[in-house]
Amino acid sequence: MPTVLELELEALARLSPQLRLLAGLLKGFGDPTLHAPPAAPSDTPSMVAARSVTTETLPAVEETVADRFVVVGDLVERARIAFAESEASLTAVITSAGNLLPPTSPGS
């Protein structure tokens, strides 16, 4: 019977391809400066700040989130592999240990 950790890792593993897809979509939005109006000398300070947020801050946040999605997907896959390897090693040790009870004498 699978443990809660195994079930959670399986569920996260099923999400890993979608995380990679989302990361690709976030990185593929293109250059935000193409949609921003050109800077004018008469722009108000709030317009300059808004343009900076649109062209610099938001793309940086999108890039960071996309990278985190990829990292989470990779970590889940590594955790699943390590969990499976440790479980296989434990099973091998248990089955190779044999019976740990003292041998019984033929007359008993």
Identify whether 100 is part of a domain.
Answer: no
How far lies 76's CA from each of 14, 61, 87, 90, 101, in Å? 10, 22, 16, 21, 40
How far lies 47's CA from each of 33, 35, 38, in Å? 14, 14, 11
**What pTM does this model have?**
0.61
Domains contained in the chain, number: 1
Res 6 pLDDT > 70: yes
Identify whether 103 is part of a domain.
Answer: no
Least confident of 12-21, 42-51, 59-68, 91-100: 91-100
Cα–Cα distance, 31 to 47 (Å, whole number) = 19
Q: Centre a 10 Å sphere on the Cβ of residue 74 and count the other Cβ atoms it contains.
A: 13
pLDDT tens for each residue of 24-78: 888 877 665 555 666 777 788 888 888 888 888 888 888 899 999 899 888 888 8
Identify whether 12 is part of a domain.
Answer: yes
Identify whether 77 is part of a domain.
Answer: yes
